[in-house]
Amino acid sequence: MKHLTESKTSFQIMDQCLVIYMKDELDHHEALALRERSDKLIDKENIKHIIFDFKGVDFMDSSGIGMIMGRYKKVIFIGGKVTVTSVNSSVDRIFRLSGLYKIIEKYNTVKEALEAL
């Protein structure tokens, strides 16, 4: 198990699963940074599954949808799964409106998401 902590977001890697613990606000500005950092890890660590943990996130707009879909497209070809956890009600509304739950699953906690893989 490896822990990589950056300024805001922290990453955890277990086997081929990347857990991304996000913080604060996921807008276009933050999505750009997150995209770059997570893609480096996905490629370097041969990642198959991704869990986005929203516990520390109180705001997200359509840029977050684009960022998650982008990562989904990266892992789907190798049979990977993308899940989201600890989603608050305003973020949940954005996910539902965008139709994202058609391709990704939601769990209450990271632990539950890991067990479901």
**Interface ranges with other proteins (CB under 8 A):** 25, 27-29, 31-32, 35, 59, 61-63, 65-67, 69-70, 90, 93-94, 96-98
Q: Tell me how far, at minimum, the Cβ of 31 lies from other proteins, in Å.
A: 8
Q: Which of 71, 70, 103, 110 is nearest to 87 (CA)?
A: 110
Pick 31 or 51: Cβ nearer other proteins: 31
Q: Tell me how far, at minimum, the Cβ of 91 lies from other proteins, in Å.
A: 9
Q: Tell me how far, at minimum, the Cβ of 109 lies from other proteins, in Å.
A: 23
Decide: 32 and 44 in contact? Cβ < 8 Å.
no
3-state secondary structure of 60: strand
Q: Tell me how far, at minimum, the Cβ of 7 lies from other proteins, in Å.
A: 14
Pick 35 or 48: Cβ nearer other proteins: 35
Helix axes 62-76, 89-98, angle to 10 degrees: 60
Pick 65 or 110: Cβ nearer other proteins: 65
Decide: 113 and 51 in contact? Cβ < 8 Å.
yes
Decide: 55 and 23 in contact? Cβ < 8 Å.
no
